[in-house]
Amino acid sequence: MAISASDVKRLREETDAPMMECKVALEEAGGDFEKAKAILREKGQSAAAKRSGRSTSEGVAKFVVSADGKTAVGVVLESETDFVSNNDGFRKLVDTLANGLLSAPADAVNGDVNSVSIDGKTVADLVTEGVALFRENIQLTQAVKLETNGAIGVYNHHTGKQAAVVMVSGDATNAGEVATKGAIQAVAMGATYLTKAEVPQDIIAQEMELETQRAINDGKPAEMAAKIAEGRVNKEFFKSQVLLEQPFLEDESKSTAQFLKEMAQGTAEVTGFKRLTVGG
């Protein structure tokens, strides 16, 4: 049967698939729209399987916050090229995933997120459709949902490559501003941990070993090298990797913890944070 241009246009609008593929799918389906959609889905799954091994070094990291300001969801959606990650359609998919996951259970988002349903489609289906649409391997590499009774602040870097969320408890009237300042700090200075207590002991031991060897290589005796290593881990490693220990971006004479405490109009305690990075 003859397939009209209006039918092809309608299928494209409903699926976002390329015009030629819509035409071919309609021809294979004998003009049946539902069958044509099924054909496009199957082809999309096939395309996703073929591209799944390709590396994804570009993408977008983003946090969104619920209307009541108590829940944040962050996602990292990666692509092969920045041409795709800068595409409006790709950014729209990021928003669809992040906002859709706001209503999903936290254990599902933080667990097998691919099986979570958003508007009748699983996360895996939405990503597969993205592969078919953008003709690149696309992977949802990170997804996290955080909830609090306090305030949440997020910062999404303008490049789209990094994003962070900080949670604050207490009675400060500007708690949201405090949290946002913390999130900006986390992205700008690349924090990995919130407090020193969160740093795994094996990571500390590894840093101690590296710094001890560094001191020995500089000609220091073993006993002195160990003390030098301890000082360097405290002054260099913790102050670079631990958010609350970092010199604050706007006033490096103060730690992030000290600065945020002083700016709070009331009591404010940073209770959690998460930073997301494309390729991280």
Q: Is 125 exposed, middle or buried (0-12, 13-18, 19+ CB in 10 A)?
A: middle
Does pTM top 0.85 for this prediction?
no
Question: pLDDT by residue (tens digit) across 143-173?
Answer: 999 999 999 999 999 999 999 999 999 999 9
Residue 134 has a pLDDT of 84
Q: Does the pLDDT at position 24 exceed 80?
A: no
Residue 5 has a pLDDT of 79
Q: Does the pLDDT at position 54 exceed 70?
A: no
Question: pLDDT by residue (tens digit) across 210-265?
Answer: 999 888 888 888 889 888 998 899 889 999 999 999 999 999 999 999 999 999 99
Longest dimension (CA), the chain: 87
Question: What's the chain's average pLDDT?
Answer: 89
CA–CA separation, 231 vs 237, rounded Å?
10
Residue 140 has a pLDDT of 95
Q: Is 124 within 8 Å of 94 (Cβ atoms)?
A: no
The 151-156 sheet, strands edge to edge = 151-156, 162-169, 269-277
Q: Is 172 within 8 Å of 154 (Cβ atoms)?
A: no
Question: pLDDT by residue (tens digit) across 172-190?
Answer: 999 999 999 999 999 999 9
